[in-house]
Structures are given as C-alpha cells and as structure tokens.
Structure 1
Amino acid sequence: MKIVLAGDHAGYELKKEIKEELEEMGHEVIDAGPYSSDSVDLSDFVYPASLKVARGEADRGIFIDGVGYGSAMIANRVYGIDACVCQDPFCAKLSRQHNDSNVLCLGGKIIGSAIAQEIVKTWMTTDFLNQEKYVRRVKKVKEIEARHLRKLDEIKDLPE
C-alpha cells in the first residue's frame, strides 16, 4: 500500500519512526514533510498530503502533529478524506472497522513511540467491516460530505 506521511515540527520525530515501521511492513511511503524539527505551519504539509489521498496518489495518510486534532481538522475539509484521531489501538481498530477511515492522525506530544507503533500497526492491518449497518452509516457521512464539500474536480486552483 502507498502511504503519505505529513505533520509539523511537533510530530517530526515520531513521523521518522512511523516511516521506518511502515517500510518494514512493506509499504511504499511518501514523506510529504516536514523534514526537520524546525517550526512550521501544519497546513503547509497536511493539506497537500490530504490531496494525495483524495486524488488516489496514496491509498492512505498518516499525519502527526502535537495532539492530532489540527491534522484531522485540516484533512477533513478535503472531499474524500475521512480522518480520525487515535490515541490507542482500540480506537484505531474501530476507526477502520466501523468508519473506513483513510487518514490516521496522531499526537506526537501525547503518545509515545511504542503505543504509536501499535496504533499504526492496528490501523494498517484492520479492514472495514462491510456489514449493512456500517455501510449504511458510512454512506450517510458521504452524503453529508457531498452536500457541504466540493469535489476536487470542481476546484480550479488546487495546488499540485
């Protein structure tokens, strides 16, 4: 699977570890930055990475900032993104099984390396439960998305 990683300075160190773990699992990783722990603006990295997932240039995304919520807020404003913040493997499992999330957001300031790696492993290896009630619920979320967000092909000035 092709995974895009992004974040900010607060998630930089954890992003490096997650990248290594994903590569060891056999995934192709696109590192969308940042490339140091120098202070940066989160949206400069998470927004373009979200577009990669939405365009199908990456199968999933993992975004790491201070607590994860900033990344999720940015990513969920892009049509086709279903981002979740997970702070333990149980939440990671349910976010995939019940919600079919395609972006995982982590907080580099609030979870340690070992738990982050377990979260990533769980999220990456859990499939959506293609059962009627979950399909129905995800469909309702997609209907809300279609009502309130513009599809990428409707936007003329998207960054590359």
Structure 2
Amino acid sequence: MSSTPKHRRIAIGSDHAGFELKEWLKAKLIEAGYECQDFGTDSPQSCDYPDFSFAVAQAVVSGQCDTGILVCGTGIGTSIAANKVRGARCALCWNEYTARMARSHNDANILALGARVIGAELAWEIVKVWLETPFSGEERHCRRLQKISQMEGEGISPQEAKTTC
C-alpha cells in the first residue's frame, strides 16, 4: 500500500458474524498507516447489523471519516442498511475487480464485505484495491451518480431522471 493513504480516516463496523474479520482488518489498516474509528460491535455476541451500518454510513456522509468498511456474514444486509443513509454509496465487493469498479465507476464511499463468503487474505486484497483506486471522474459515471443523487435527494422517479445520452 502507498505510504500516504488518500482515505486516511476509516469508519469500520460489523455485526457478530463479521466481528473477527473486522478486528483483523482493523489491525492491518492501522499497521498500513490508516486511522480507524470502530463503530462496533465489540464481541461475537449476536447483534443487529443495521445499528453499525447506519453509524458507519453517517460518519462517512458527515465527513467525520473519509470512507467506511462494513462486515457482516454475507455483506448483503449491511450494504442494504448503509445505503439507506442519504449520500452513502456502499458497495458489496467479493473480489479485486468488483472493488476496483466500485471506486472507479461508482465512487463508492463504503465497502461491504461478507466474512462468511470470503477469507481474510482475500478481504485484505479487496480493501487495498478499494482504498487505492480513485474515482475515474468520467462524464458518464458522473452523470449516473448525479441521477442517483437526484432520485435520492428529491424523491423523483427513475423515469423522471432519464436523459438521453
């Protein structure tokens, strides 16, 4: 990883199923020079992923943290919950390619991982690619993100957001 991380302040959180992977990733991130703000959970005892997903998403959207990482059993529930926070763009990634595309094309600001579907080493590779990949800034991707923001912020229908390319 680069010596000067762009996304230095990382909000990190998990439910019980993702607890061990979250703790392992947090240690790797700190070792690599990142600052991690842990939003829980603090044990493998059963808990509800929306609580941690919302907290991480709010920390990212508010600017308290630069980016976020969420871990649950599959990554599905936590990504759905995080994406309910206006301004959150949480991407569930399962390999390096999906991580690269989430950042490059979708400017994802939160990464979701499934602890029960990928191993720790693969999770670390995904995290590294995701953190090091910049948003492309290409017009087509900006236009698509703008449509998402409009629908999210103004409650307009997808048909109303359509424009001709």
TM-score by length of 1: 0.90
- Aligned counterpart, 1:18: 25
Unaligned runs of 5+ in 1: 150-160
Unaligned runs of 5+ in 2: 1-7, 157-165
Larger radius of gyration: 2
- Aligned counterpart, 1:44: 51
In the TM superposition, what whole-angstrom CA distance separates every residue of 1:13-62 from its partner, at most 9, and x where no partner exists? 10011101211221110011101111111112221221111111011110
In the TM superposition, what whole-angstrom CA distance separates every residue of 1:61-95 from its partner, at most 9, and x where no partner exists? 10000000111111100011000100001000000
Root-mean-square deviation (CA, aligned residues, Å) is 1.2
Cα distance between partner residues in 2 of 1:59 and 1:44: 19
Secondary structure at the counterpart of residue 3 of structure 1: strand
Runs of 4+ in 1 over 6 A off after TM superposition: none
TM-score by length of 2: 0.87
1:65-104 correspondence runs (5 A): 65-104=72-111
Cα distance between partner residues in 2 of 1:28 and 1:127: 19
1:112 aligns with 2:119: yes
Q: Percent identity?
A: 38
* Letter matched to residue 154 of structure 2: R
Secondary structure at the counterpart of residue 29 of structure 1: strand
